[in-house]
Structure 1
Amino acid sequence: MSRWSDEIETLDPTLDYERIYFLLSAYEFSWDIEKALEFALFRTYAAPSISGLLSWTGEFRKHTRKRYDDTELLLSEVSENGQDSERGAAAIARINDMHGRFRISNNDMLYVLSTFVVEPVRWLERFGKRTMTQTEITACIHYYRALGEKMKIRDIPEDFTAFDTFNRDYEADNFCYAQTNAEIGSLTRDLLLSMYLPKKLVPLGRPAVHALCDAPLRSAMGFAEPPPWLERLLLTALRLRARLLRILPARRRPRLITQRRRPSYPLGYQLCELGTFRKK
């Protein structure tokens, strides 16, 4: 356990959930939670109603990197500054303004919210230096319940079991192949790979992303089945990383996503610039 996990265990997850979530995402599991949330959003594109809307607007196709940056920055402004802070409230208002222009079902909104709760827990169970404690899971639930309420999402589950059940039931009912899934999923996959690989090598990295996907997700995206040895290799590499993290000292400085340089905003950004806007 680290100094950050020790602090977390002194806090009340039903009251101090924003502080706990900040410690988890900026210190204790900073890289893991970022990757898990990337994968969570990626996973939502396997639902035709979600990928179909993104394809229909055309924004994701035309400005893939900017849409990725805007989403990550808006969510990070909230988690790093607080939901009721000036910047956090402004970010939530921007999110609500964008969503309010389209007829998005409560079920789809609730599913996206559920992935933010369950995917980090699942990721850490598979690849983390440790699993989340009950205090940490409870804090994440309260954090996203509060955020979901500010986004006017209804019927939000009250505990992890209910979130997990809703998430699995939604995927069983809604995951199926669609051309828009393949379009948005492929754009996102290649964007994420381009952050680590030169453009010419991106095609070589695609099987690695497919290996991190489960069979229903691959099928809904139209992704090729990866070779079994690649799945084993990735799992081994990520578990070796987890072992190494257990013996390394805790992070001293926060890993703040909002402070990162981005090609979409080479000179920095203003909150009012993030997202999409009504056409005049």
Structure 2
Amino acid sequence: MAASLYKYKRVFAMARHWIAKRINQLDPTLDYDEIWKLATAYRPTDFIMNLIYAVTFPHFFVRRLDALPLFDGGTGKILSKPDARSDDTSWKMQVWWHYGSEHEKTRQNVESINRIHEHYAKSYPDSFERNGTYIYTLCYEAAGMHRLMLRVGLKGISEKEKVAAVHYWANMATIFRNATSGAALTGFPDTFEGIMDFMDTWESEVVPKHEMGMPAANAIIQQFADKYFHSLLHPLVFKWIISLYPDHLIGAYDLMRPGKLTVKALRLLTACFLWAGEHIAPDPTDTFTERRKAASRPTSITPTASSRRDSAPDDIPLSGCPHLRQQQRLKAAGSELKEDQNPQ
């Protein structure tokens, strides 16, 4: 009886946490797109994506040249439409993570960003000229979550995920281009250690402070606080986000870091939140992108079998582990065929 109960609990736990099991079955040198998708596209919610945005984005305008197109004379979306700026960034990245680095939808999405960069490069050519700016951003996307986990006391991503991250973001680096010169990007590191070293070197470069840094950083934290918390909690939210920033951001924007005990407590709280999301909460069966698409679909019309067949295969709202989805499509197709053969 005890053995049967243990077996049941084990099977139930594996069903609840299928993502880690699937990652362990994959080869990171070949299946990097799927590993990156499994690690990044399922668990995030709007809240988590906005939290990551609030922690991440201030890294990208420490230099005045990088801040100029974002600030855009005070009219940039980072100030004028902070919610839209956050959502646009999060949703675009989730498209890349959902479809993978080699999918046409990802390439089309990145191409739209290339064109936006080229538009702003006409006004701020020096801001888009330096190759290292692009490489740093891509390196941060590859390893930023790992660094945050280490900062709050967690062990970071697995070795398999590190290898997959290198391959995935090396592919992504080939899709972006220098908006000033039109040249391909060069120098993306070929190891995870190289990615970490590149970021450390870039961030250690001494650069002068600029007048746009503090307003932009505050606007990013404020939109997160406004969106999810009562105004009475906003001072605590600011302390929380600032406690997650590294020293060079604190100095660049003249931010007031909370006391050591407060920082320790807030980082521990963050660690518990991230750990529980991975180890206690059941793994979602749909990606962030799928959930967002489903939420935007009209619910008043029930599709017929024929209308379902007219939809593209990728538009069918299927759940579960990605490697089982083809079987689900075949099963769905068989059900529709049976329905057509036996009309009511």
Kindly provide the CA deviation profile for residues 87-123 of structure 1, in whole angstroms up to 9, marking residues without a partner as x.
Answer: 3222111111111231312111111111112211112
Q: Look up the match of 1:48.
A: 64
From 76, 95, 99, the counterpart of 1:59 = 76
Distance 1:21 1:203, change over 3 A: same
Q: Look up the match of 2:201.
A: 169
Tell me if structure 2 keeps the 8 A contact 1:33–1:120: no
Tell me if structure 2 keeps the 8 A contact 1:175–1:217: no
Stretch moving more, 212-221 or 84-93 = 84-93
Q: Look up the match of 1:270.
A: none
Tell me if structure 1 keeps the 8 A contact 2:19–2:38: yes
1:90 aligned onto 2:108: yes
Q: Secondary structure at the match of 1:178?
A: coil
Distance 1:191 1:174, change over 3 A: farther
1:67 is aligned with what amino acid? R
Shift of 1:77: 1.3
Stretch moving more, 163-172 or 97-106 = 97-106
From 228, 231, 235, the counterpart of 1:196 = 228
Tell me if structure 1 keeps the 8 A contact 2:33–2:100: yes
Unaligned runs of at least 5 residues, structure 1: 268-280
Q: Look up the match of 1:109.
A: 134
Stretch moving more, 135-144 or 177-186 = 177-186
Distance 1:232 1:140, change over 3 A: same
Q: Secondary structure at the match of 2:286?
A: coil
In structure 1, C-alpha distance between the alignment counterparts of 2:55 and 2:166, rounded to whole Å:
18
In structure 2, C-alpha distance between the alignment counterparts of 1:54 and 1:123, rounded to whole Å:
24
TM-score (structure 1 length as normaliser): 0.82
In structure 1, C-alpha distance between the alignment counterparts of 2:277 and 2:101, rounded to whole Å:
30
Q: Percent identity?
A: 18
From 11, 14, 23, the counterpart of 1:8 = 23
Q: Look up the match of 2:44.
A: 30
Distance 1:116 1:95, change over 3 A: same
Aligned length: 263
TM-score (structure 2 length as normaliser): 0.68
| RMSD over aligned Cα atoms | 2.9
Shift of 1:255: 4.2
Q: Look up the match of 1:20.
A: 35
Q: Look up the match of 1:187.
A: 219
Q: Secondary structure at the match of 2:205?
A: helix
Shift of 1:128: 7.8
Distance 1:217 1:24, change over 3 A: same
1:213 is aligned with what amino acid? Y
Shift of 1:201: 4.3
In structure 2, C-alpha distance between the alignment counterparts of 1:144 and 1:112, rounded to whole Å:
10
Shift of 1:71: 1.6
Higher relative contact order (CA 8 A, sep 6+): 1
In structure 2, C-alpha distance between the alignment counterparts of 1:13 and 1:33, rounded to whole Å:
25
2:113 is aligned with what amino acid? I
Tell me if structure 1 keeps the 8 A contact 2:139–2:195: yes
Unaligned runs of at least 5 residues, structure 2: 1-13, 178-184, 299-344
Shift of 1:173: 0.9
Q: Look up the match of 1:140.
A: 165
1:111 is aligned with what amino acid? Y
In structure 2, C-alpha distance between the alignment counterparts of 1:156 and 1:212, rounded to whole Å:
26
In structure 2, C-alpha distance between the alignment counterparts of 1:3 and 1:55, rounded to whole Å:
43
Q: Look up the match of 1:131.
A: 156
Tell me if structure 1 keeps the 8 A contact 2:149–2:271: no
Tell me if structure 2 keeps the 8 A contact 1:44–1:50: yes
Tell me if structure 1 keeps the 8 A contact 2:54–2:241: no
1:80 aligned onto 2:80: no
Tell me if structure 2 keeps the 8 A contact 1:46–1:220: yes
Tell me if structure 2 keeps the 8 A contact 1:83–1:147: yes
Q: Look up the match of 2:86.
A: 68
1:131-280 pair list within 5 angstroms: 131-152=156-177, 153-199=185-231, 201-242=233-274, 244-245=276-277, 248=280, 250-257=282-289, 259-260=291-292
In structure 2, C-alpha distance between the alignment counterparts of 1:196 and 1:220, rounded to whole Å:
26
Q: Secondary structure at the match of 2:22?
A: helix
1:181 is aligned with what amino acid? G
